[in-house]
Structure 1
Amino acid sequence: MISVLALLFLAYHSFKSRNESEIEKPLIIVNGIIAPSLSKINGHMTYINENNCMNCHISAASFDEIKEIAAPSIPHMYRENCNSCHFIKE
């Protein structure tokens, strides 16, 4: 009897922890495009404010001399709270 209870507890705990790790982020669609995730660069890891985002993304700032790595321009009107649609990639 105890082994059956232990097995049920283990199955429940496994199922619960799997579902908790799969928390769904909202699907935000603007102009027919799903809001992209943010890459794991330093500027994205800690959200400060929208001005911080705009410093790079309004001007498509480049991170190297040959412009191979550049912040993409924002393809939509300015909106407050960038993190309400964009999330850090896992």
Structure 2
Amino acid sequence: STLQLTLEPDWQAEPEPNLQRVRRQLNVQGGGSPRQGFDLSINGRAPVWQSNNGRHSLDATGQYSQHLGGPYGNSRPNWGAGAQYTFRF
């Protein structure tokens, strides 16, 4: 069995004029069975900076994953962080 959940918490019922929506991403995935154990994965991304003309942007990224349970027990957590630069032509 597999579970995938995507959360985008930044919304407003009535957006104010001249405000832009900030796009953040949080992805949570998991699956497995009690006998074999479960896999868990979490990835996130959030904007850090954008140029005035919108052509350059920098996002912060992060990830975490781990196998839990099963005949061999828990794996070591695997995690990381980084940055993503984007240039729009």
TM-score range, shorter chain: under 0.3
User: Rg bigger for which structure?
Assistant: 1
Which has the larger share of helix? 1
Higher relative CO (Cα under 8 Å, sequence separation at least 6) belongs to 1
- What TM-score results when the alignment is normalised by the length of structure 2? 0.19
Q: TM-score, normalised by structure 1?
A: 0.19
